[in-house]
Chain A
């Protein structure tokens, strides 16, 4: 008879599951390990200080921060309206504002060209009345990044707005606060965690955007060649530079992930 007392009290992972899980983990660990292992650490610092890299880095920061700002200005009201109001076509609108999350970025870039290109639906008016041309400009890169990143902000913010206790807003109104004061002094402070988490997610996504940027804004150093595009270009001619740039982006992504780890769960 089997000695049942030998089986440990804590159940162990079944072997098949453990094996598959290990392969799954390797799937993620190997590429990242490869990046760190094969990095040219010796010349990395010099690479980072080369003018091309610094331009790409500066441009990436400027564009991603501008895209985040634009996302907040447009996304905050949109998220608020979506969370608080019910209107016809709401499901469709919500689908559209979430679409860029699943849409292939290069397709997004094509769509942006058709809308804001020189002969695009809105683009032609922008050109005619404001002399504003978006494709293949820095502003265009910002627009492309905003297009793909704003949905992340909206998703997080909408959930945040929904979780605010409406009773608190009503209490504020009975105390004499008009709707703007309620928003400013009660609602906004209460969604601050969601806003912060959403903004960081948005920024990280904007920073890493490639497909829409290269399609809509092109790959012009100093104008639209952000870090991801620089990596792509560098891989052809100077792989070491490409690897170093990749490490920079990897470090940023890891920092975002670790920084948001707890907030992620709380805010989403």
Chain B
């Protein structure tokens, strides 16, 4: 049945306003820049941050309704939370940590320990059952935290940047376990992350939160093909511009214009892949209908490729080979001509 949440939360200067529905069996990743309200959203769903307005419903059960004054406290919500820093209880062993939730739900000590042991076994951590959190590695403690959240058989699994506190090797090992267990989990799964890799690897749907507002929602492929915000564009690694189209011509907000083929009239987003941007030493004469003069602002070398950021009527990033960059003798502040074919400008309604 899933989760439906239409909520407004006020936290300091942030106003979070989100309307979200996640089906049972769905994995949704909430992405966004720092301060966007991702963690606040998670906390609100967990009952740790009160709603100023709105309601949260899970599998047909009302968890919170601000206007009706209904509030189910966190301990009575069928949730499991995996926090950013594992937040394992430092005075309890790994086994006792995993058994904690079970015991809170009335399971006897012996039975809780038995089930906790099973969970640790599934994660390959049975040998570490008696270890205290400070004796575990980062990857191990994060996996214990996941086991702890799953052990209570929640209907909604909330993960707050589960991999961000780990180093690269631990991250890979936990990501594998996470993926495996997320796949076998039957309830609703909501993952907050600012790591696009994590989102792409684990989620079926991406939701982008910026400044407390839901800016875009779709599959990873959809979001990358048609980003609707600068953040989404960064995610996809493309250039994103906004403007008004009329016929084949798009007037870009803030100055400049582009010619695109097949642009719908009205407010549009225009996406140009950096690889479709060509750079020249002097004004090119040829078929591309978008040609302009710019100034090199920055060059980032990534292996054999170079990403060149060019300032002009509007900023654009070009991706060229390192060899080509060297050949053109590009440097910061230098003049350069940019060309983009009209067919490479992908415009869609804003």
**Chain A residues with a Cβ under 8 A of chain B:** 165, 167-168, 170-178, 181, 185-186, 189-190
Contact = CB atoms under 8 A, between A and B. Distances in A.
A167 B74 CA distance: 13
Contacts of B47: 173
B50 to A, nearest CB: 14
17 contacts: A167-B83, A167-B87, A168-B90, A172-B100, A173-B47, A174-B46, A174-B48, A174-B79, A174-B81, A175-B80, A175-B104, A175-B149, A175-B152, A176-B105, A177-B75, A178-B75, A181-B104
Contacts of B76: 176
A177 B87 contact: no
B276 to A, nearest CB: 46
Given A170-B48, A181-B104, A176 B87 contact: no
B196 interface: no
A175 B76 CA distance: 9
A236 B25 CA distance: 86
A168 B46 contact: no
Nearest to B148: A175
Given A167-B83, A168-B89, A176 B101 contact: yes
Nearest to B77: A174
Given A176-B101, A176-B105, A167 B85 contact: yes
Contacts of A172: 89, 100, 104
B91 to A, nearest CB: 5
A176 B149 CA distance: 11
Interface of B: 46-48, 73-77, 79-81, 83, 85, 87, 89-91, 100-101, 104-105, 148-149, 152
Contacts of A186: 89
A174 B80 contact: yes
Query: What 6 A-B pairs have minimum CB-CB distances, sorted nearest first?
Result: A175-B101, A176-B104, A173-B74, A174-B81, A171-B87, A177-B104
B81 A171 contact: yes
A190 B74 contact: no
A186 B85 CA distance: 17
B91 A189 contact: yes
B148 A190 contact: no
A50 to B, nearest CB: 47
A168 B90 CA distance: 9
Nearest to B76: A176
Question: Which residue, of A168, A173, A189, has the highest number of chain B Cβ atoms within 10 A?
Answer: A173
A181 B103 CA distance: 11
B30 to A, nearest CB: 17
Given A175-B75, A176-B101, 12 more contacts: A167-B83, A167-B85, A172-B100, A172-B104, A174-B79, A174-B149, A175-B101, A175-B148, A175-B149, A176-B105, A177-B75, A178-B75
A259 B345 CA distance: 76
Q: Which of A167, A173, A174 has the most CB of B within 10 A?
A: A174
Q: Which of A168, A175, A176 has the most CB of B within 10 A?
A: A175
Given A172-B100, A178-B75, A190 B91 contact: yes
A165 B91 CA distance: 13
Contacts of B77: 174
Nearest to B100: A175
B83 A173 contact: no
A171 B75 contact: no
A186 B101 CA distance: 12
Nearest to A182: B75
A171 B152 contact: no
Given A167-B85, A170-B74, A176 B91 contact: no
A173 B149 CA distance: 12
A44 to B, nearest CB: 44
B190 to A, nearest CB: 13
